Each structure stands twice: as structure tokens, then as C-alpha cells.
Chain A
Amino acid sequence: MDRREFMKLMSAALALAAGGCAHPPLEQIIPYTDGQDATDSGEPLYFATALTENGYAQGVLVRSNSGRPTKVEGNPRHPASFGASSPIAQGRILELWDPERSRAVLHDGNITSWDELITMLTARLARLQQAGGAGLRLLTRSSSSPTVLALIDATLARYPQARWHHYEAINHDNVHEGTRLAFGRRLEPVYHFDRALAVLALEADFLGCAPGKVRHARDYIQLRRPDDAHAPMSRLYAIECMPSITGASADYRLALPSSRIGAIAAELAARLAHGGKTSSAWLEAAAADLELHRGRSLVLAGESQPAAVHALAHRMNGMLGNLGTTVDFIQPPAEVRELADASLTALSADMHAGHVDTLLILDGNPVYDAPADLDFAGALQRVPASIHFGLMVDETAARCAWHVPAAHELETWGDARAYDGTLTIQQPLIAPLYGGKSAIELLGLLTGQLGFTSHDVVRATWRQRFGDQQLDERWREALRTGLVADTASAFETVTLLEAPPPVSLAPGELAADELEIVFRPDPYVWDGRYAQVAWLQELPRPLTQLTWDNAAMMSPRQAGRLSLENHELIELDLQGRTTQVPVWIVPGHADGAITLMLGWGRTAAGAVGSRRGASAYALRSSNAPWFARGLKVSRLGRRQALASVGDHHRMDGRDIIRGASLEAYRAQPDFARRQADIAPPETLYPDYAYPGHAWGMSIDLTSCIGCGACTIACQAENNIPTVGKQQVLMGREMHWIRVDRYDEGPPSAPRTTFQPVPCMQCEHAPCETVCPVEASVHDAEGINVQVYNRCVGTRFCENNCPYKVRRFNFFRYAPDTPSLDAMRNPDVTVRMRGVMEKCNYCLQRVVRARIVADRDNRTLHDGEVVTACQAACPTQAISFGDLNDPRSQVRIAKSSPRNYALLGDLDTRPRTTYLARIVNTAAEKPA
């Protein structure tokens, strides 16, 4: 290149560079046309509705900013929420705004129109009707909606030969069959953990997986308040294979392969019925405790345990006088005319046999989540007309002739029942973003009701219930409060059958070299339907800290026996069906079993959810949906890195977690206090005065169950990006509040404690002294704020933070996606590349509350500022408020002798402190 050419190129580059710089575009303001719409002043509004999980309603309040749903909060009036929420409920906002959602009706993969579908379906239905609807099949997920169920009934009345099937991969078949074995009919148990002083959970993850989990957590923690010396403390015994948050919360935990739990239950039942001795001291203690609290104890089994174990649990509750006190029974909120597994098996058989002419799959993904032995994909090829209705063009949509985009639950009208039967009328927060239809509209096609909106149909249902006179008033009241008053199901009177039907309880002990596979629901992506929700993908699983992947989970001893290490890729072989998955060693897992989470290995979930982890459905068969023996493991000699956000679960002699047994706490209440807590070291700097408010937080480790709701609530509130597996592997996850897990004791039976760690808002903040541009400073109310527009990204502050709570934007993580822009909280700055960020006690909420109070010339009262994590927490483990107010919740919490500062000996003087964990074990030395 000669000089002339160089000059030419350089000047061209310069000109381009100069041309590329432009002032920000002139913003436009578009006024509303009609004054009726102009009530929008930009202030957030909250609407009460419900989100369903497996057909069960979870009451929520959804924040709407100028008509855009941006955040889910719990509904304080709703019995399944009491103001709290779950990670999945929080994640549903991201699901709504997912830019990859299906946008058009498809026929053989080509875009067509809703009208085309109506034409096709009408012609087909007219022909089917002549044969009474023979060959017409409907497949839905579990549904508790009176409107949907009425429409299904209307369809079946119109086509008597048609059949309705329903399927959930994570279903309650065993629960319903268990009550049939015990009481002669299918019922749903409703547990009252606020009355149960001794609880035995047989692989029942009632805090993490059950339909009423958020309410269970609130009830459970009512009896776990050690600071009240007069209140009794409950004791929880858990038997499980894979450690769950319920197991971690338990006072006593026993790890057993899932197939062995039935035998233990039988042994315990015999002990309770006839007295005598059991084989182990553990079981003996449990039996004694249950008997001691006769009428105030509870035995419950999880959905993965066979129906016979459920029946046994009911029998034990009967013997202990718990029926009607700690457990009641109601008609199942979701319709169960037949069991889900049987229902899908029957459908699949009919499809293979060519008896199915038209199949309507209303929201479901059986090609992905049906048991492998049913070969649902193969069966679909034999159906002439298959119509899939769903949010995404997923695995099932790709194999169906037609696909109809579904409206999200936040886009349409509907109704649903909560775990206790309480009804909610669901209202839309926004018109369907992508022209989706509701299931109600699609079912309307079958019953010949064309041109009705979901609103018309739902209102018609409620017109019948409320009556014409009161319709308007009661309808509005139901929408305002988020539930229809007094609709909780009446408790059924149950009597145990005299002679229970003989059932064989589980096989005997595992042989030394025998292995069992156990399938568990993933707590966040569930059965796979939330795989596309990046927040839930990146939320570390409570017990493994894994993100973006599932793994073959086994105990340290089992890994030793098989000579396997973390990240090592293995092949699991169950009766000839195989899948490849890396190993993850989980302390506290039962020996002799390998656990694989359901919900992974999606192939057509979208860019976020596809090809993550391995599909457990490839191994799962319809006769052994939860566990099976005869698993073979072979090593593949390769590694596949798993992204875990925590690789250090020991405390190495530091006082990170402090805890004691209840007895030890009563004997020495200030056991958690150390020198640094009593007398902080001398300092050269004068203390700052905070004459106004001084914000502070307290986190109760006794209450924290590790569910992760705080992390996702924070992510949604504060516009926190997800970074992807590669970045997590480099330790660059962005969560402002993480939930650390610490194991104490032997790896075979550790005591697991969760510790949520947000920014400690240190009074002597190490980050502030090293920032060269003063981007990290204290404000006048004591919050350690991060000023994004000052930050130049030196990362000194992160380096100097002993708590690792500062997060750096290594890349521009917020993509230019219009739908995701619309989802963001407008009160929080979206951070750019090269900027440090961290928890700031939901500053935007403090400022908003302050402005509202100042406008009225009054002071803020306690509880007016609620941080996102605090609002979401099902157990109210987090209290937040003004440390200057002697009557504030946070002051009361911090006055507990259990109060301690994390790494307090560093003299950082954190404003966020912890309350030591108290477990109700017989005797344990203070730790």
C-alpha cells in the first residue's frame, strides 16, 4: 500500500466515523385521541389476576406501566399467595414478552390465516358430527377453569363419540389414586402446616413443587419463629432421594432411593398401628414425635411416590387423628375424570390404531414430554388432521398439520381455581401481542360459537353463577380483589376404608451394584414449558447451584463407586433407551440412585431454551414415570462443562452461617454474637449522621427456604440481564441477590443452609474508598448507591468487595429487542456495557414512596417501602425499613439476639444483617 492509498483509506474512515456520530433522535410524543384512554398518567397501576401452574391458580397483582405489564407481585388477598410469589410466577412476564413467540396460524409450516383454519375445521366437524364425533379427540393440560370445562362438556355433548384427554408430565395421578385407595374416591388433600407440630414428608417437596407451595411456606414458617419463647416450634422429618428445599429445611432428613421410601412408610405405619420397634433410630424418633403430637402431626407423600404410599400416609394420619385437623380433603380443583397417564396412554394407543381423525392439542407439548414408550410423535403421523395450539412453535407444533398461536394468560380472559378451590377471574393486562387466540375461543369453534370473545364466554359463565341482578357488581368486585369471595372448596368428610385394597409396596433393598433412576421436576423450567424463560434458566437450582443445564445427580459415595467426577459425560441406559448427560455430585443424595431433572433437552423451545441439558423423557416410560431400577451407566470419556455459580459450599472455619438447635438457643440466646457484633473495632473516621431515614435490612436464615423467588423478583424489578451459560462459566452472572448454599456435616448427610446475599450496604463500604470517580457513594439515607452515569468501569470496587455482590456489564447484555424494551421497569436505568451495578435496596421504590409521602406532607410509615425481594418472599424472611424508627419491623428483627453481621470482623458495618438459623433438633452444640 502506498502513501496515497493509505491517505485515501484513512480519510474515508475518518469521514465515516464523523458521519456515524449523530445527536440523539428527536423524541416524539403521541397523544391519546380520546380522553377516556388518557387516564394514563405514567404512574404504575396494579391489576389482580391469576397465573396458573399445572392448572392451579396463583393469585397475582400485575404492575402495568402505561399499559405494559412489567412485573408480577403476589396478591395479598389470595389464599395461595398471601402477597408472595414464586420464581415461575415472576418469570411469566418474560414469557409474555418473548420475541420468539408464535405469531401466525401455520399449516404444514406455512403461514395461513385464522379464517382458513375455521373453514377447514368447520368442514371437518360437519363431517364428524354425522358419526357422532367419532374420531374427534381433544388433548388439554390439566385445567381447573369452569369456563373451559363447561366448553369441553358442551363439545362432548355435541359430539357424543368424541373423547377428551388431559395430560401433564408432572401430574397428580398418585395423589388422586392414593385418596381413592384410602377413602374410595378421588380427592385432593389440603394441608395445614400452620397447625402441624410434627411433619413427616415422604419425598414431598411441599415447599418447592406442590401446587400450594407459596401458601405452604407461609403456613410452615408460622410455627418456626424461635424468638417467641412461648410459641412451639414445629419439627420436620423428610425422607427423599434427591435433596430438595423441603429436605434442606427439615430438622431431620433421611436420604433413600425413591423406591425404598414405600417400605419405610409401611414399616412406620405398622409401628404406629401395632407399636413395637422399627429398624432404625431415625424412624423411631419420627414415630415418637408423630405420636406425641397426635392430632397436630402430619404425614404426607409427594406426587412421585406410588399411590399406595399416599394411601399409607392417609392411614397414618387417620391413626394419628390428623384427618380434619392438619389435613383436609376437597374435590380436586383440576378436573380428573381419568388419570393423566392413563388418559394419554389411551389416546396414544387410539392414534396408533388409526382411530383418531381430528386431534386438537390445546396447549401441551406431548411430542416432547410424553413417556418415551408411547411414541407420541409416531402416533401423530397417523392422525389426518392434527391442530396444535400453543405459545410457541414447539416440538409438537412442528409435527402437527396446523398450529394456532395462543394468547398468553396475561392477554386473555379466563378463570381458574387455586389449590384450595378458590376461584379467580383472570383479566388480561394487554391485548394479544401477536394476535394469539385463547383456548376459550378455540373451543368455541368446536361448539359452533363463532365470533365470541373470551370475555363474552367467561362473563356468560359467571352470569350463571352471579345471576343477572348482581353480575356487574360481583364481577367488578372479583376483578378488583383477584378472587371470588367464599369459593374455597368445602372440606369433604372422609372415612378410611376398612380393609385397604392389597397393594404391593416397592421392591426390596437395592443390590450392591444395582442403580435406580429418579426423575424430579425441575423447580424452575418445570416440565420444560418454561425452558424459553432465560431468567428461570439462569436462576441457580437451590441444591446444585447449576444454571442452563441438568445433570446426572448422585451422591459423593455413588460417584466414588462409579469413579466419576463432576462434568464427566456419561450415558444413561434404561431398558435400551439412552441419553447422555454430565455428572454432578450432590452431597446428601441417596446412594444407589441417579436423579435426572425433567424439563431439559428441548429441541424446539427457541433460541434460549433449545439444546440445554438432556431430556429425561427419553428414558421415562408410562409404567414407571418417577423412578425405575435397572439403570446402566457407561462413561463416554468426555467432559461437558456445567455452569454452577457456587463451587464452594464449605465455610472453612469462618462464621458465615451461624445456627444452633432450639434447645441450645434457649440455653444461650446470644450464641451468634461475636466480639465484632458487640464492640466494633475503633475507627479514625467520624460516623455519619442520618437524621432522616436510615434504611436497613434483616434476613432471617431460620425462615429462608432457598426457593429463589427473591432473585427473580429482583431481576424483574431492576432490569437485570441474563448473560448465558458461557458467561456464567466465567463467573459473570448478574443477580443482585443470590442465594448461597452451605453444607455442614458429612457429605452423605449434610445440613444445608441457604443464605440470600444482596449488597450489604456497608456503612464502612470498601467499594467506596477505591472508586476513582466516586460512582460508588452513600446517599443521605444510608444507601450505598451506584451512579451508573459516573461509572467508568475500573472494577476496583468489585475487587474490594468482600461479599462479591457487585456485578459488571462485560458486554451490552440488554439486546435491542422492542418487546423486551417494553417489558423493562421504566423506573430503573438500563445499564450499558462497562458499568458496575448492584443491589440498592430498590432505590426506585424508596424514591417513589418518598415522593408520594412528601406530596401529602407526611412522613413515610413503616412498611410503605417494600423491596422486590421482600415482597416476593413466601416466608417473609426479609424485613426492610427505617433503622431510626424504633417500631419498624426491621428494628424489631435486628433486636433479636440471633442478629449478626456477615463477615462482621472486617468492620464493614453492614446495614443488611442476618438472624441465625435455629433448627428444632434434639440437641446440637451451637455452631
Chain B
Amino acid sequence: MQVFSPGLVLALKVGTLATFSALIASLFLWRRYIALQPAIGDPVAQVVPFSHKHHVGDDGIDCRYCHTSVANSAFAGIPPLSTCMTCHSQLFTTAPVLAPLRTAFAGERRLSWNRVYDLPDFVYFDHSIHIAKGIGCSSCHGRVDQMPLTERQAPLSMQWCLGCHRAPENYLRPPGQIFNMRWRPAAAQHQLGAQLRRFYHLHSTRLLTSCSTCHH
């Protein structure tokens, strides 16, 4: 006598399949949940809705006016509140969106920015050397001059880092173009890149892709 009816067998098969699919789906959901926040292209909410679009795009303020240590330190630098107040003690002095800035500057409450780009702690990235060797801001940070709220543009995965370290010539810019938001590689980039690679005395690809270049 048949113990399992064909209907039951079908139900079992479908059930097993459904369980597996659910497991896999939850695994992906979980991966997404524990992934580095925020996701690429998600504008990150801030206490003061600081707009790079306005400051960089509309006003034309240079990156280094605020990120002062980008050329000589690993850390690009977050401007002190006094930098904000050079203008905002005169402009928008009563604007409600700037209230947290004013209270913080008066020393009443701290102002803290949510981090947009966050590398794992075992990776060491140095802004200054990338600036010195012809990698422009927008190559990693995207067109911040078009971002009302700053959002992450690059995955910061190891594969992404190595993509450039294996072939930096694809991304190298001439020295004057580092802070140019509108710079795009031209058709002859491979030719220019090879020249720039020599110009900047870049190390061998073997050294650039050694583990120890970024992990120590």
C-alpha cells in the first residue's frame, strides 16, 4: 500500500522548496541588514541638513576650504564650527535649520555628523597620498556638488579598491584637476594615464596590491 499519496508528496516538495527559498531570502535580508550603513545612493540624514550642492555647486567653495588636512593627513578633516560661522555669523543668522549649529558654537550642545563613508577598522586609507598621486575627490566621492544631502557613492569593498590599485592609470588626473568636480576621463585616458603614472612616480602594481599597503 502506498503510504505517501501523490498529493502529499507534491505538498512536501513544494514545502521543502518554500522553506529553502525562505531561508535563502532571509539570508540575503540579513546580509543587507548587517551591511555597512548607509547604502550606496541613500542620502544620509544629518542634524543640520548640510548641502554640498549649495556650498560646492552653487557657491563654488573649494573642498580644501573645509577639509583642510586632506593634502597632508590620512584624515581629510571635518571643519570646526568656527569655519561654518565665518559665513553663518553673517548669513542666515536666524535660519531655524542652523539652530543646532548656533547652539553648538555657543558651547551648549555638541553637534555630531553622521558618518557617510566608514571603512572597516583593519583597513588604513590615507587621503593625502591619493591627492598627491592624482586621484581626484570625485573619483570616489562622486559629484558631491550635486548632492543636497551627502550620500555614499562607492562600495568601499576590497575589490573596488583593488580595481584602481591594479590599474591606477585609468583614473589618474593631471595635478590641476584633483579638486575639479566636473573632470571626466577623456577618450585618450589610457595614454594620459600611462604618462601620469610615470609623472607621479607610482609604485609597482605589485606594491600597490600588497596586503601591507592597506592592512597593518
Least CB distance, B39 to chain A, in whole angstroms: 11
Residue contact A23 to B34, C-beta cutoff 8 Å: yes
Residue contact A28 to B211, C-beta cutoff 8 Å: no
The proximity string for A residues 249-265 relative to B, scoring 1 for CB distances below 8 Å and 0 otherwise, is 00000000000000000
Is A34 an interface residue, CB under 8 A from the partner?
A: yes
With CB as the reference atom, state the residue of chain A lying closest to B81: A33
Residue contact B79 to A26, C-beta cutoff 8 Å: no
Residues in A with CB closer than 8 Å to B201 are 854, 857
Residue contact B122 to A829, C-beta cutoff 8 Å: yes
Is B51 an interface residue, CB under 8 A from the partner?
A: no
From 7 to 37 in chain B, residues with beta carbon under 8 angstroms from any chain A beta carbon are 30, 33-37
With CB as the reference atom, state the residue of chain A lying closest to B83: A35
With CB as the reference atom, state the residue of chain A lying closest to B34: A23
Residue contact A43 to B73, C-beta cutoff 8 Å: yes
From 99 to 128 in chain B, residues with beta carbon under 8 angstroms from any chain A beta carbon are 104-105, 107, 110-115, 118, 120-122, 124, 126, 128
Residue contact A843 to B216, C-beta cutoff 8 Å: yes
Report the bound CA distance from A854 to B75 in whole Å: 17
With CB as the reference atom, state the residue of chain B lying closest to A858: B201
| Among candidates A27, A43, A789, residue contacting B74 with C-beta atoms closer than 8 Å | A43
Is B132 an interface residue, CB under 8 A from the partner?
A: yes
Is B78 an interface residue, CB under 8 A from the partner?
A: yes
The interface stretch among B139-147, B178-186, B202-210 is B202-210
Is A222 an interface residue, CB under 8 A from the partner?
A: no
Residue contact A28 to B132, C-beta cutoff 8 Å: no
Is B96 an interface residue, CB under 8 A from the partner?
A: no
| Among candidates A41, A788, A828, A854, residue contacting B77 with C-beta atoms closer than 8 Å | A41
Report the bound CA distance from A783 to B213 in whole Å: 11
| Among candidates B38, B118, B128, B210, residue contacting A851 with C-beta atoms closer than 8 Å | B128
| Among candidates B75, B113, B115, B216, residue contacting A844 with C-beta atoms closer than 8 Å | B216
Residue contact A33 to B82, C-beta cutoff 8 Å: yes
| Known contacts A692-B207, A783-B212, A827-B216; A31 and B81 CB within 8 A of each other | yes
Residue contact A18 to B132, C-beta cutoff 8 Å: no
Report the bound CA distance from A24 to B75 in whole Å: 21
| Among candidates B68, B122, B216, residue contacting A840 with C-beta atoms closer than 8 Å | B216
Is B69 an interface residue, CB under 8 A from the partner?
A: yes
With CB as the reference atom, state the residue of chain B lying closest to A38: B80
Residue contact B105 to A29, C-beta cutoff 8 Å: no
Residue contact B128 to A31, C-beta cutoff 8 Å: no
Residue contact A785 to B204, C-beta cutoff 8 Å: no
Is B197 an interface residue, CB under 8 A from the partner?
A: no
Residues in A with CB closer than 8 Å to B68 are 38, 41
Report the bound CA distance from A637 to B75 in whole Å: 62
Residue contact B215 to A28, C-beta cutoff 8 Å: no
How many of A's residues come within 8 Å of B, CB to CB? Answer: 45
| Known contacts A779-B211, A788-B215; A30 and B112 CB within 8 A of each other | yes
Residue contact B121 to A21, C-beta cutoff 8 Å: no
Residue contact A34 to B82, C-beta cutoff 8 Å: yes
| Among candidates A41, A790, A829, residue contacting B121 with C-beta atoms closer than 8 Å | A829
From 828 to 875 in chain A, residues with beta carbon under 8 angstroms from any chain B beta carbon are 828-830, 840, 843-844, 846-847, 851, 854-855, 857
| Known contacts A854-B129, A854-B132; A829 and B113 CB within 8 A of each other | no
Is A492 an interface residue, CB under 8 A from the partner?
A: no
Report the bound CA distance from A493 to B179 in whole Å: 69
Least CB distance, B157 to chain A, in whole angstroms: 12
Residue contact B107 to A33, C-beta cutoff 8 Å: yes
Is B52 an interface residue, CB under 8 A from the partner?
A: no
Residue contact A692 to B210, C-beta cutoff 8 Å: no
Is B133 an interface residue, CB under 8 A from the partner?
A: yes
Is B72 an interface residue, CB under 8 A from the partner?
A: yes
The proximity string for B residues 28-57 relative to A, scoring 1 for CB distances below 8 Å and 0 otherwise, is 001001111110000000000000000000
Report the bound CA distance from A554 to B167 in whole Å: 65
| Known contacts A779-B207, A788-B122; A43 and B72 CB within 8 A of each other | yes
With CB as the reference atom, state the residue of chain A lying closest to B69: A41
Query: Which residue among A26, A787, A827 has the maximum number of chain B CB atoms within 10 Å of its CB?
Result: A26
Least CB distance, B129 to chain A, in whole angstroms: 5
Residues in B with CB closer than 8 Å to A35 are 80, 82-83
| Known contacts A30-B111, A33-B105; A829 and B78 CB within 8 A of each other | no
Report the bound CA distance from A909 to B215 in whole Å: 25
Least CB distance, B111 to chain A, in whole angstroms: 7
Residue contact A23 to B107, C-beta cutoff 8 Å: no
Least CB distance, A9 to chain B, in whole angstroms: 20
With CB as the reference atom, state the residue of chain A lying closest to B120: A789
Residues in A with CB closer than 8 Å to B75 are 41-42
Report the bound CA distance from A855 to B134 in whole Å: 11
Is A781 an interface residue, CB under 8 A from the partner?
A: yes
Report the bound CA distance from A692 to B216 in whole Å: 20
Residue contact A31 to B113, C-beta cutoff 8 Å: yes
Residues in B with CB closer than 8 Å to A26 are 37-38, 114-115
Residues in A with CB closer than 8 Å to B107 are 33
With CB as the reference atom, state the residue of chain B lying closest to A777: B211
Residues in B with CB closer than 8 Å to A5 are none
From 153 to 179 in chain B, residues with beta carbon under 8 angstroms from any chain A beta carbon are none
Least CB distance, B170 to chain A, in whole angstroms: 20
Residues in A with CB closer than 8 Å to B120 are 789
| Among candidates A23, A33, A37, A692, residue contacting B35 with C-beta atoms closer than 8 Å | A23
Least CB distance, B151 to chain A, in whole angstroms: 14
Is A685 an interface residue, CB under 8 A from the partner?
A: no
From 685 to 705 in chain A, residues with beta carbon under 8 angstroms from any chain B beta carbon are 691-692
| Among candidates B72, B73, B111, B211, residue contacting A787 with C-beta atoms closer than 8 Å | B211
The proximity string for A residues 608-646 relative to B, scoring 1 for CB distances below 8 Å and 0 otherwise, is 000000000000000000000000000000000000000
| Known contacts A31-B81, A31-B113, A854-B132; A789 and B36 CB within 8 A of each other | no
Residues in A with CB closer than 8 Å to B72 are 41, 43, 855
Report the bound CA distance from A827 to B38 in whole Å: 25
Is A32 an interface residue, CB under 8 A from the partner?
A: yes
Residues in B with CB closer than 8 Å to A29 are 78, 112-115
Residues in A with CB closer than 8 Å to B122 are 788-789, 829
Least CB distance, B206 to chain A, in whole angstroms: 4
Residues in A with CB closer than 8 Å to B38 are 26
Residue contact A32 to B207, C-beta cutoff 8 Å: no
With CB as the reference atom, state the residue of chain A lying closest to B35: A23
| Known contacts A30-B111, A854-B129; A827 and B124 CB within 8 A of each other | yes
Is A780 an interface residue, CB under 8 A from the partner?
A: yes
Residues in B with CB closer than 8 Å to A788 are 122, 215
Residues in A with CB closer than 8 Å to B129 are 851, 854-855
Is A22 an interface residue, CB under 8 A from the partner?
A: yes
Report the bound CA distance from A24 to B114 in whole Å: 13
Residue contact A42 to B74, C-beta cutoff 8 Å: yes
| Known contacts A21-B33, A829-B122; A31 and B79 CB within 8 A of each other | yes
With CB as the reference atom, state the residue of chain B lying closest to A692: B207
Report the bound CA distance from A828 to B123 in whole Å: 10
Residue contact B114 to A779, C-beta cutoff 8 Å: no
| Among candidates A787, A830, A854, A855, residue contacting B215 with C-beta atoms closer than 8 Å | A787
Least CB distance, A671 to chain B, in whole angstroms: 37
Query: Which residue among B111, B126, B211 has the maximum number of chain A CB atoms within 10 Å of its CB?
Result: B211
Residues in B with CB closer than 8 Å to A846 are 212
Least CB distance, B68 to chain A, in whole angstroms: 8
With CB as the reference atom, state the residue of chain B lying closest to A689: B206
Least CB distance, B207 to chain A, in whole angstroms: 4
Residues in A with CB closer than 8 Å to B126 are 851
Least CB distance, B34 to chain A, in whole angstroms: 5
9 A–B contact pairs at CB < 8 A? A28-B112, A31-B78, A31-B79, A33-B82, A38-B68, A42-B75, A781-B210, A830-B121, A847-B212
Q: Which residues of B contact A (CB under 8 A)?
A: 30, 33-38, 68-69, 72-75, 77-83, 104-105, 107, 110-115, 118, 120-122, 124, 126, 128-129, 132-133, 200-201, 203-204, 206-207, 210-213, 215-216
Shortest 4 CB-CB contacts between residues of A and residues of B: A41-B69, A42-B75, A779-B210, A41-B73
10 other A-B residue contacts (CB within 8 Å) besides A30-B113, A42-B74, A829-B121: A21-B34, A22-B34, A23-B37, A24-B36, A28-B114, A33-B82, A38-B77, A788-B215, A851-B129, A854-B201
